[in-house]
Amino acid sequence: MALISNVLSLVSADKAFTLLPHRGRIRIDVRVDAKQTIPEIGVGSFTDRNGNVEIAIDVKRGDLRPTLETWIPASVAHELHHSSRIRTGPGYGVTLGDALVSEGLADHFVFEVFPRTPSQPWDHALTTAQERALWLVARRELNIRLGYDRQQWFFGSGKIPRWAGYTLGYDIVAAYLHHHRSASDAVGVDATKVIAPFRGF
């Protein structure tokens, strides 16, 4: 199982690397750790501040095929976009606005590399009414350095629904990419340039 997931990660990485700028050697660690995964897909992923990637897999799921064939490649592509942004672009960022754009670009990059990836649930976690209301809240916090609650905005707590930040970021970036470049070409674009022309939901 570990061998299969490692091979899939390497194949996924090769496809993503062809679309991203040179960024030096990147370490991709794959481990079995159900606690670090998204339950809906059986995979979890993270890019550290040096641009190295960690992938966690839940191998006790009933049907591992979607995990292995769909969600590992998607997760690797997502994290490698973060890695390139960290190593060659403006970085992941320290504000809510930075995070929204970094996550939105990474999720759009998944579909650039693997167009047949199913819709990712965190990109469509809000109703239109929720998105409009939460955007009004987010706008007040966009540029506060290290002052936003990442756990709240991206994983849900208090009045913020789970995955709200991913959905907002995905749709803000979609508006930008509609008039500009691909997610791979935009890996080095500053978040303010993506958010500034956005007119809301």
Residue 65 confidence (pLDDT) above 90:
no
The span from the CA of 16 to the CA of 20, in Å, is 7
DSSP assigned state of 126? S
Q: Which of 153, 107, 115 is nearest to 134 (CA)?
A: 153
SS3 28: strand
pLDDT for res 89:
86
Question: What does the pLDDT average to over 14-40?
Answer: 91
What confidence tens digit (pLDDT) does each residue in 101-126 have?
A: 999 999 999 999 999 999 999 999 99
Instruction: Choose the most confident range, by mean pLDDT, from 19-28, 168-177, 178-187.
Output: 168-177
Q: pTM, whole model, 2 decimals?
A: 0.94
Contact present, 192 and 198 (Cβ < 8 Å): no
Residue 193 confidence (pLDDT) above 70:
yes
Gap between the terminal Cα atoms of the chain: 43
Q: How many CB atoms lie within 10 A of CB 154?
A: 23
Work out whether the CA dihedral 97, 52, 117, 127 comes out positive or negative. negative
Contact present, 9 and 55 (Cβ < 8 Å): yes
